[in-house]
Chains A and B, each alone.
Chain A
Amino acid sequence: MANSYYDPADLRKFGKITEWSEELGTKFFDYYGKVFEEGALSAREKSLIALAVAHVVKCPYCIDAYTKDGLQKGITKEEMMEAVHAGAAIESGATLVHGVQMMNKYNKLSM
Chain B
Amino acid sequence: MEKSILPKKKPMQKSLKARDNELAVTNKQLQILDGGLFADGELPYFKDKIGEIGHFPLRPKKLEILQINVGYMCNQVCEHCHVDAGPDRKEIMTRETMQLCLEVIKNTGAHTLDLTGGAPEMNPDFRWFVEEAAKAGIKDFIVRSNLTIIRANKKYYDLPDFFKKHNVHVISSMPHYTRGKTDKQRGDGVFDKSIKALQELNERGYGMPGSSLRLDLVYNPSGAYLPGDQMAMEKDFKKALDEDFGIQFHNLFAITNLPIARFLDYLIASENYEDYMYALVEAYNPAAVANVMCTNTISISWDGWLYDCDFNQMLDLKVASKVKHIKDYNEDLLNDRNIIISQHCYGCTAGAGSSCQGTVA
Q: List A residues at the B interface (Cβ < 8 Å).
A: 12, 38, 42-44, 68, 71-74, 76
B181 sits at the interface (CB 8 A): yes
A residues within 8 A CB of B221? 71-72
Chain B, range 231-260, C-beta contacts under 8 Å to A:
232-233, 236-237
Please state if B282 and A73 are interface contacts (CB–CB under 8 Å): no
Please state if B225 and A71 are interface contacts (CB–CB under 8 Å): yes
A residues within 8 A CB of B223? 71
Please state if A38 and B232 are interface contacts (CB–CB under 8 Å): yes
B residues within 8 A CB of A12? 278, 282
- Closest residue of chain B to A72, judged by CB? B228
Please state if B232 and A76 are interface contacts (CB–CB under 8 Å): no
B178 sits at the interface (CB 8 A): yes
Please measure, in the bound complex, the distance between the C-alpha atom of A68 and the C-alpha atom of B276, giving whole angstroms: 11
A residues within 8 A CB of B180? 76
Please state if A68 and B282 are interface contacts (CB–CB under 8 Å): no
Counting chain A CB atoms within 10 Å of each CB, the highest count among B219, B223, B225, B227 belongs to B225
B229 sits at the interface (CB 8 A): yes
A residues within 8 A CB of B176? 74
Please measure, in the bound complex, the distance between the C-alpha atom of A92 and the C-alpha atom of B219, giving whole angstroms: 38
B292 sits at the interface (CB 8 A): no
Please measure, in the bound complex, the distance between the C-alpha atom of A42 and the C-alpha atom of B229, giving whole angstroms: 12
Distance to closest chain B CB from A7 (angstroms): 13
Please state if B178 and A44 are interface contacts (CB–CB under 8 Å): no
Counting chain A CB atoms within 10 Å of each CB, the highest count among B221, B225, B228, B282 belongs to B228
Q: Which of B181, B227, B282 contacts A72 (CB 8 A)?
A: B227
Given A12-B278, A12-B282, also A44-B232 (CB < 8 A):
yes
B226 sits at the interface (CB 8 A): yes
Distance to closest chain B CB from A67 (angstroms): 9
Distance to closest chain B CB from A80 (angstroms): 12
Please measure, in the bound complex, the distance between the C-alpha atom of A68 and the C-alpha atom of B223, giving whole angstroms: 10
Please measure, in the bound complex, the distance between the C-alpha atom of A73 and the C-alpha atom of B180, giving whole angstroms: 16
Please measure, in the bound complex, the distance between the C-alpha atom of A42 and the C-alpha atom of B219, giving whole angstroms: 20
* Closest A-B pairs by Cβ, 10 of them: A72-B228, A73-B228, A71-B225, A68-B225, A72-B225, A74-B236, A74-B233, A12-B278, A72-B226, A76-B178
- Closest residue of chain A to B237, judged by CB? A74
A residues within 8 A CB of B177? 74
B residues within 8 A CB of A42? 232
Given A12-B282, A44-B236, also A74-B228 (CB < 8 A):
yes
